[in-house]
Structure 1
Amino acid sequence: MLRQKDLEQLNANFKSQKNLWLLMLVAPFIYLFLGYLIGPLWTDRTWGGDWMLPFMRATLAVLAMLNVFVCWQARRLTLAGRPWRLILRIERRLAAAAPDQLHPAARLYQALQVFTLGLAESIALLGLVLFILGDGLVMLFFFANAAVVVLIMFRPRMVELIGIAGRLLSGQIKLDSRPTAS
């Protein structure tokens, strides 16, 4: 059972995670704005022949779907008490950077959020790359909207943070708080 002090610290840490999420939610709109800005200025963006653009569109769409799958899998495993080593490495770096400011559960959850939100936001970046390679604003808009949907789907939830704290308290998740050498 979590103590009241832990719940208060988790609530305070959760607010910073919400702010991180809101900042990440703005990024796809920045990419759309860049597309509208660059589009009229860059008139000759077609290269690679007739086969290149459809190939890149399909490849980047598959990569975007792969990003969503990896995000979903990382969240599922971490919330079940089996975080990936990469998530644990991010958590150790957070522990080294702010050892007393974040509850251990909040550090792990923030590491998960940084990983999943970064991958989700990169979907919009893939749309910008596709636009720069010669595709239209419609595909940029599609990829940016897909990124926003994924970011909303993987938004931080207090229930998940409390679940991680409970798993840490029960010993199901073991964190090695030694800072990494970098």
Structure 2
Amino acid sequence: MILRQKDLEQLSANLQSQKSLWMLMLAAPFIYLLLGYLIGPLWTDRSWGGDWLMPFMRAGLVALALANVAVSWRARRQTLAGKPWPLILRIEARLAAKAPESLHPAARLYQALQIFTLGLSESIALLGLVLFILGDGLIMLFLFANFSAIILILFRPRMIELIAIAGRVLSGQIKLGRPAA
């Protein structure tokens, strides 16, 4: 399906708001890192559970961070392939209820996808902050925050993805308009 010029103009304007959301999310890992630098010297007793528990907590949170990336990657691939998850469709329905005319239907779906994947990606840095607060070193916080920033950059909003979703929405391959649960 060919997109009309009007659709392309609206999608372009909607992408700018999504890029603003992305830039705000990209700042979060660096805020967590700054919090670690500020909290670290003030908080001297951070060893919860002793030295034997830290490797298990570290391994568990690394596994959770990798799971966040895998879930985000899969959600993006499936949505771009025209098979969005029900959770993504629920987020889109809520966006449609709040701003029915300001966003193109494809932009709403793409924004719902961005909210989901960027939230999971940003939480990786939060996991690093939790690990740091529980007693791990600043190096792990730095690694988690940087990994989060890299994933956020990887999942940044792109016009080509928005156009692909718009084509699938306009051709009827993706059905929108389900009520928010």
Q: Which residue of 2 aligns with 1:38?
A: 39
Q: Matches of residues 85-164 of structure 1 in structure 2 within 5 Å?
A: 85-164=86-165
Return 5+ residue gaps in structure 1 as ranges.
Answer: none
Could you tell me how far 1:49 is from its partner in structure 2? 2.1
Counterpart code for 1:42: W
Q: Which residue of 2 aligns with 1:166?
A: 167
Measured in 2, the distance between the counterparts of 1:123 and 1:36 equals 17
Partner SS, residue 52 of structure 2: helix
Return 5+ residue gaps in structure 2 as ranges.
Answer: none
Partner SS, residue 89 of structure 2: helix
Q: Which residue of 2 aligns with 1:79?
A: 80
Residues 40-49 or 144-153, more deviating: 40-49
Residue pair 1:32, 1:144 contacting (<8 A) in 2 also: yes
Residue pair 1:123, 1:143 contacting (<8 A) in 2 also: yes
Q: Which residue of 2 aligns with 1:176?
A: 177
Measured in 2, the distance between the counterparts of 1:50 and 1:90 equals 42
Measured in 1, the distance between the counterparts of 2:134 and 2:178 equals 44
Residue pair 1:95, 1:177 contacting (<8 A) in 2 also: no
Q: Which residue of 2 aligns with 1:68?
A: 69
Q: What is the number of residues matched between the two proteins? A: 180
Could you tell me how far 1:47 is from its partner in structure 2? 1.9
Counterpart code for 1:55: F
Partner SS, residue 164 of structure 1: helix
Partner SS, residue 49 of structure 1: coil
Residue pair 2:29, 2:149 contacting (<8 A) in 1 also: yes
Measured in 2, the distance between the counterparts of 1:152 and 1:134 equals 28
Measured in 1, the distance between the counterparts of 2:118 and 2:93 equals 18
Measured in 1, the distance between the counterparts of 2:80 and 2:32 equals 31
Q: Which residue of 2 aligns with 1:56?
A: 57
Counterpart code for 1:36: Y
Q: Kindly, what percent of the aligned residue pairs are identical?
A: 76
RMSD between aligned alpha carbons? Answer: 0.8
Could you tell me how far 1:177 is from its partner in structure 2? 4.4
Q: TM-score, normalised by structure 2?
A: 0.98
Q: TM-score, normalised by structure 1?
A: 0.97
Residue pair 2:89, 2:178 contacting (<8 A) in 1 also: no
After TM superposition, which residue ranges in structure 1, 4 or more long, deviate above 3 angstroms? none
Could you tell me how far 1:79 is from its partner in structure 2? 0.2
